[in-house]
Structure 1
Amino acid sequence: MDFPLPRWFAHRGGGALAPENTLAGLRLAARLGFAAVEFDVMLSGDGTPVLIHDETLERTTNGQGLVSETPDARLFALDAGNGERVPRYAEAVAMCREYGLLANVEIKPAAGFERQTAETVARLSTSLWQGAAVQPLISSLSLEALEIARDLAPQIPRGVLFEQVPADWLAVVRRLQAVTLHCDVEHLSDDVLAEVQANDIPVLCYTVNTKKAAESLFERGVSAVFTDRLDLFVTETSAYKGLHLGG
């Protein structure tokens, strides 16, 4: 596999500049020159993959209740901020392909829906991204979801996501045949970075919202960061300093 790995990913679509996990956010990220975006995918009550982070609707929409219990007819009528609605995964993929964006697709299963979510997203990703010039990067905190993605969509690159990197992270990466390691910037140790570099595995950190922090991470050897502050990195993204994953 071979695809560009930009240094900056727009977190949850448009970061803090647009309603999170919306098409407006993806459109804004592209307009500002970002080459990569990150968003979360969960299943609706009807089993449709949609972009949303929380298992409940209250924080990011004007709805109430569990996403996994909300039928499409009600879900897609909600306001996800500034008149935006909760988008289908298929709509987000179409927009990413239109703008040539690298998408970090985080499989975000609701409790009890790990396998169903992973199977649906993996199978749908195979068809939605077929023939795309830029393939997505699938990640998840759920190792079960990544195992399923590995088995059902082996051609799509995977990133192992941890809040805090465990001692056996390398064995997990190898078992899942992943190409990147993702982690919380607050829990990234120099020891892990040294081991990552020794094994030539890019590490991606979330959530980095100052230039000083980003510069420090790049100096330490971090390959890419997820940011909410798209406005701070417009100059850098327009220059498009990217890496390549190869294999």
Structure 2
Amino acid sequence: MRADWPYPRWVAHRGAGKLAPENTLAAFRLGAQHGYRMFECDAKLSADGVPFLMHDSTLERTTSGHGVGGDQPWHALSQLDAGSWHSRAYAGEPLATLENAARFCLHNGFLLNIEIKPTPGAERRTGEVVARDAQRLWAGQAIPPLLTSFKTDALAGARDTAPGLPRGLLLDTLWDGWLATARDLGCVAIVCNHALWDAHTVAQARDAGLRTLSYTVNDDWAAERLIALGTDGIITDRVDLFSPAR
């Protein structure tokens, strides 16, 4: 039997998709202005163990920094400009810690999907620290964050550290053993490339008691197909196109 699902269908990818600098509080605020109640973000660790929001392992694409983000202490990372790459309007926007994101969501009644996005080689430790901090930050809350990852070692670390937090396995292909692995990790959801869902794969996940979520859905035809299949969640960049009330 599948557990109750407390999360909305529509989830804003990296805060507000491409309309604001990804994984920043500015993006969360913009996604909220478009009516979104749940956000997806990427979390990794600084060299001194602070979970912060960033997708890439390296800093160049989305900040004024250089090199591997996980090799630098949070003090250095906190000084970087994470907004100018996007547009002048966001110049000076800082990187966010997971704690920043948590406090924004908790104070405003929003929900969060935290993708554990480790620096290569730090998979298990990142899962452990992100889960530990999420458990602390959301203590006593009715709806905890959903922890997801492509990295099974990260999900295992999260499971062993905070077994009560819900987890989801991210997939970009349906590799051999994906369903058994999700069950072994105690996952509640599969989150995969939207093209991988069809009637058969949805039925497989449902029969295993798992929820079905998709990334990154930016076209109306793709969203309609997923809704018709009865999937549970749609992660999108197009917060300007899709109303979360639909």
Same fold (TM over 0.5): yes
Alignment of 1:85-96 (within 5 A): 85-96=94-105
Deviation by residue 1:57-105 (Cα, 9 ceiling, x = unmatched): 0111111111011222221111111121111111101111112122111
What is the CA distance between 1:189 and its match in structure 2? Answer: 4.2
- Of structures 1 and 2, the one with the larger relative CO (CA 8 A, separation 6+) is 1
Q: Which 4+ runs in 1 deviate beyond 4 A?
A: none
Task: Give the aligned partner of residue 30 of structure 2.
Answer: 28
What is the CA distance between 1:2 and its match in structure 2? Answer: 4.7
Question: Which residue of 125, 128, 132 corresponds with 1:123?
Answer: 132
Question: Which residue of 187, 212, 229 corresponds with 1:178?
Answer: 187
Deviation by residue 1:118-140 (Cα, 9 ceiling, x = unmatched): 11111111111101232100001
Contact 1:107 1:139 in 2 (8 A): yes
| Gap regions ≥5 residues in structure 2 | 84-89
RMSD: 1.6
Question: Which residue of 37, 41, 44 corresponds with 1:42?
Answer: 44
Contact 1:6 1:36 in 2 (8 A): yes
Identity of aligned residues (%): 46
Alignment of 1:108-147 (within 5 A): 108-147=117-156
Q: TM-score, structure 1 length as denominator?
A: 0.91
| Gap regions ≥5 residues in structure 1 | 242-247
What is the CA distance between 1:198 and its match in structure 2? Answer: 3.1
Contact 2:40 2:112 in 1 (8 A): yes
What is the CA distance between 1:214 and its match in structure 2? Answer: 0.3
Task: Give the aligned partner of residue 60 of structure 1.
Answer: 62
Is 2:121 aligned against 1:102?
A: no
Contact 1:41 1:53 in 2 (8 A): yes
The range that moved more, 49-58 or 119-128, is 119-128
Task: Give the aligned partner of residue 87 of structure 2.
Answer: none
Q: Secondary structure at the match of 1:131?
A: coil
Aligned length: 237
